[in-house]
Amino acid sequence: MEAAPVAKDLEAGMGTRRALARVNLAAIGRNCARMLTELEPGCELCAVVKADGYGHGATASARAALDGGASWLAVAGAREAVELRRAGFENVRLLVMGALSPVELREALQAGAEVVVWREQDVRAVASAGGGRVHVKLDSGMGRLGTRDPEQASRVVATAVDTPGVDLAGVMTHFATADDREDPFFARQLEAFSGWAARVKAAHPRIVVHAANSAATLRDKSAHFDMVRCGIAAYGMDPFGLDPIERRLEPALELSSYLAEVKDCASGESAGYGRRFVAARDTVLGVLPIGYGDGWRRALSNNADVLIAGQRRPIVGTVSMDNMTVDLDGAADVHALRGEAAVLIGARGKQRITAEELARRMDTINYEVTCGLTARVPRVHHRDGDLV
Ligand SMILES: Cc1ncc(COP(=O)(O)O)c(C=O)c1O
């Protein structure tokens, strides 16, 4: 039997795997520091590390964000909060932004996390689950969690203030269109929230008023209030789907694989399920052991490039669960490329492939690109190349 191909990509001392996500924690720290430059003194940065830190690893990302100046963390669910507490984030203020079943509510409160409420019964449920800090959510137009009625929201505020064991910690909303700079709905939401929040703040000056995600933070200072909740920008992706460099954001995640096989493909021969690539001329194909089982989506079949030896090479044929093929046509000494690293998200020399480019190709958003990487892809954390 032939020996397994040895990959040549040992650049950062991390070794090569069939698929590997290297996450630069120093970049996450710098992105948070960069977002802080947008804020007035006293306005806090809450780093959103839900969904395993948008696929980057929640614990490591949380540490990096706090190092970069974030002072709060936010997640979507109780389990995520518990995991952060277990990982040693014992004292940092931690907000669970999502809906909570009774079991999850108890879990979140026991972890000392703060929770979101919008009905009087939510406040009573918090009290019966042992009490804790609550943030009242006004639905100013997102149409998901929260109450659309400011009077109802004010009643919930009053109930929180009057209920023993419950602390009114904040009021909040969430924008539906902050990432669309042309859309006037953002301004309407901001106006609807601002008036109500100002009245609550006047009566309860110690509460934290918060509304902005990354896009709103970059777009409008009047949306900052006492704290902003940033996820996507912390990971160095652009909330508007454009090139992150334009807003001085630094992508933290690099996805790589390698050429496990290099093989000749004669004109008329095909590669992959469904024969969606048939060679129009003699060429050479490379096989990368990564596929949709790793979160490298099938929608990228015949629809993206990878960087090999500093050059863009097109994916040809169908992306399958564990493998995909690229066309190496014209590469010098092509068979010697066996074992060579392939960068699927990241930069080499002048070439860059961003999550934003992939999102455009798949008609989705950069969030889904990194969140979609599955547990099969090991995350290796480093700081500018030094393993942590
Ligand atoms: C309620 C809430 N706030 C803040 C964020 C962070 O958004 P972004 O990643 O766009 O900064 C999210 C993420 O979806 C969210 O659901």
63 lines ligand 1 (CB under 6 A): no
DSSP-assigned beta bridge partners for residue 116: 135
Would you say residue 358 has pLDDT above 80?
A: yes
137 lines ligand 1 (CB under 6 A): no
**Residue 269 · residue 279 · CB < 8 Å:** yes
Would you say residue 9 has pLDDT above 70?
A: no
Within 10 A of 7 (CB to CB), how many other CB atoms are there?
21
pLDDT in tens, 322-345: 999 999 999 999 999 999 999 999
Looking at per-residue pLDDT, the higher value among 58 and 5 belongs to: 58
**Residue 46 · residue 74 · CB < 8 Å:** yes
What pLDDT does 12 receive? 45
Those residues with Cβ within 8 angstroms of residue 226's Cβ, 6 or more apart along the chain or in another chain: 42, 43, 44, 170, 207, 208, 209, 210
Q: Are strands 379-383 and 253-258 parallel, antiparallel or unpaired?
A: unpaired
pLDDT in tens, 178-214: 999 999 999 999 999 999 999 999 999 999 999 999 9
**Closest atom of ligand 1 relative to the 214 alpha carbon:** 11
Those residues with Cβ within 8 angstroms of residue 191's Cβ, 6 or more apart along the chain or in another chain: none
**Closest atom of ligand 1 relative to the 217 alpha carbon:** 11
Which letter does DSSP use for residue 167 in this model? E
* Banded pLDDT at 15 (limits 50, 70, 90): low
Would you say residue 11 has pLDDT above 70?
A: no
Would you say residue 59 has pLDDT above 70?
A: yes
Query: What is the C-alpha separation between 42 and 208, in angstroms, rounded?
Result: 11
Would you say residue 13 has pLDDT above 50?
A: no
**Cα of 211 vs its chain's centroid, Å:** 18
**Residue 54 · residue 371 · CB < 8 Å:** yes
What pLDDT does 184 receive? 96
Handedness of CA 113, 134, 109, 79 (dihedral sign): negative
**Residue 114 · residue 131 · CB < 8 Å:** no
What pLDDT does 5 receive? 42
What pLDDT does 125 receive? 98
* Banded pLDDT at 17 (limits 50, 70, 90): confident
Ligand 1 geometric centre to CA of 229 (Å): 6
φ, ψ for residue 378 (rounded to 5)? -65, 140
Q: Are strands 311-316 and 305-308 parallel, antiparallel or unpaired?
A: antiparallel
**Length of the chain counted residue by residue:** 388
**Residue 96 · residue 107 · CB < 8 Å:** no
Query: What is the C-alpha separation between 377 and 139, in angstroms, rounded?
Result: 37
Mutating to test ligand 1, I would choose from 213, 237, 365 the residue with most ligand atoms within 8 A of its C-beta, which is 213
**Closest atom of ligand 1 relative to the 46 alpha carbon:** 4
| Residue whose entry in the numeric block shows the structure tokens 């994916």 | 315
Quickly list H helices, 165-243. Answer: 185-203, 214-219
Handedness of CA 376, 381, 386, 388 (dihedral sign): negative
Ligand 1 geometric centre to CA of 173 (Å): 11
Coil, helix or strand for 361?
helix
- How far, in Å, are 88, 97, 139 from residue 62 at the CA level? 11, 16, 27
Q: For atom 12 of ligand 1, which residue has the closest CA?
A: 213
**Cα of 377 vs its chain's centroid, Å:** 16
- Average pLDDT, whole number, for the chain? 95
pLDDT in tens, 34-49: 999 999 999 999 999 9
pLDDT in tens, 226-247: 999 999 999 999 999 999 999 9
Separate counts of helices (H) and strands (E) for the chain: 11, 21
pLDDT in tens, 105-122: 999 999 999 999 999 999
Ligand 1 geometric centre to CA of 208 (Å): 17
Range name among 3-12, 129-138, 178-187 with the lowest pLDDT average:
3-12
DSSP-assigned beta bridge partners for residue 264: 284
**Closest atom of ligand 1 relative to the 172 alpha carbon:** 1
Which stretch of DSSP H or E encloses residue 360? helix 355-362
Ligand 1 geometric centre to CA of 309 (Å): 37
Which stretch of DSSP H or E encloses residue 158? helix 150-162
